[in-house]
Amino acid sequence: MKKSAQIRETLENASALATQRNGLPQLLRNLLRNLLRNQASVKEGSPAKERSAWGDAWGEPCYDADFMCIYFKNMAWIKDPEFVRAYTKGMDSGHKMGRPKGSQKDIHIEWRVHMILWAAQHAMQLEGDFVECGVNTGILSLAVCDYLNFEKLADRKFWLFDTFRGIPEDQMAASERAHAIGANETSYEECYELAVRNFAPYPNAMLVRGKVPESFANVDIQRVAYLSIDMNIAKPEVDAMEFFWDKLVKGAPVVFDDYGWAHSGEQYDALNAFARSRGVKIATLPTGHQTLIFGPPGFSVGHSAEMQSNCPAKDWRRRLPKWRRRPNPLFCRRLPRRGAASAAKVTALCSEEPDFGPTRKSDEPFSYAASDLG
């Protein structure tokens, strides 16, 4: 047997051990998963660092978080008060990714949020709804809602798809099981009620509980200006792309949270195959994890001058300097006051609770695996 085949076989055996609930104790399984992830992230062919060519310019990293170490870049964006407010809103959503339940620790995913806010701001110039598949407690989408004052955008909806209880085991490919089951155990739990509370200030945020793609059957979405996909496994992500591709308006950004991670090879391959089939390419950003493609080239739904002029949310605001782009109450349509009762208004379009397999029990020891953040 060739050495590479032997290594693959050993990794597959280890992966099987790491996923068997009745096999090793939880802590050992987590250790094994981390080892496997590290193995997955050792890539051949990464270019050598040619620091010497740039003299002393490197200095100290200006951003060293979320598995990125960045040097010598303009970091002004990270201090922008609007960014800070939106970021904090998402980070305080009560999630337990990269931190134990109840912890308020900042998991420092600023650059991801920066990219998602940029994409969402771009989408404001297009006609159509916003969509996120893989919402959990809403770090990214709450940040977007806050940044854009989404509650004031009466002509748009923000569709938020999730099981709100973790990744369905029956959709996991063999190579994804170790990571995805680990993420279900450490990072996701029943969080629907929490999400309803989090999004209550945004009456146009539509929580759709259920398994993607089945849950798409319950909605009527015509045009999409912004699509964020973050479900951590390949199958529903490709299903979502199949479903939304023809609904994306020209120039709509699609942001994948996981595509560029070293351990997300299944998503990388599957999404590349999808992109190829539609004649586009996905950019792997230097930030590594969040990655963009833009809506169908030449596809023009929602982009005509007539439709543009029908989009009251943006026109007057786009002409203003940035500091004045916050909606002025004098110009905005009046919306009903929000209160405790509005939580009930958040639409639960698919309320049945299919069995997605067991979630982590709260008494099990917590062990944070680095790549649960993906």
Ligand X SMILES: C[S@@+](CC[C@H](N)C(=O)[O-])C[C@H]1O[C@@H](n2cnc3c(N)ncnc32)[C@H](O)[C@@H]1O
**Residues making contact with ligand X (CB under 6 A):** 95, 134-140, 161-163, 166-168, 171, 188, 211-212, 230-233, 236
| Residue-wise DSSP of 262-304 | TT-HHHHHHHHHHHHHTT---EE-TTSS-EEEESPTT--TT-S
Q: How far is CA 46 from CA 42, 50, 117, 219, in A?
A: 9, 12, 30, 44
Question: Across the strands, what pairs with 248?
Answer: 224
Least Å from the CB of residue 162 to ligand X: 4
Least Å from the CB of residue 141 to ligand X: 6
Dihedral sign from CA coordinates of 156, 162, 164, 166: negative
Least Å from the CB of residue 210 to ligand X: 7
Q: Which is nearer to ligand X, 29 or 211 (by Cβ)?
A: 211
194 and 137 Cβ atoms separated by less than 8 Å = yes
Q: Which is nearer to ligand X, 141 or 311 (by Cβ)?
A: 141
Output the six-digit token pair for 187.
């990072």
Q: Which is nearer to ligand X, 7 or 174 (by Cβ)?
A: 174
Q: Please tell me what DSSP assigns to residue 248.
A: B
Least Å from the CB of residue 356 to ligand X: 8
184 and 232 Cβ atoms separated by less than 8 Å = no
Q: Which is nearer to ligand X, 167 or 248 (by Cβ)?
A: 167
100 and 107 Cβ atoms separated by less than 8 Å = no
Least Å from the CB of residue 195 to ligand X: 9
Q: Please tell me what DSSP assigns to residue 140.
A: H
Q: Which is nearer to ligand X, 212 or 224 (by Cβ)?
A: 212
Least Å from the CB of residue 188 to ligand X: 5
Contacts of 39 (CB under 8 A, 6+ apart): 11
Q: Which is nearer to ligand X, 137 or 367 (by Cβ)?
A: 137
133 and 161 Cβ atoms separated by less than 8 Å = yes
Q: Which is nearer to ligand X, 178 or 301 (by Cβ)?
A: 178
Q: Which residue has the tokens 């809403």?
A: 138
Least Å from the CB of residue 340 to ligand X: 24
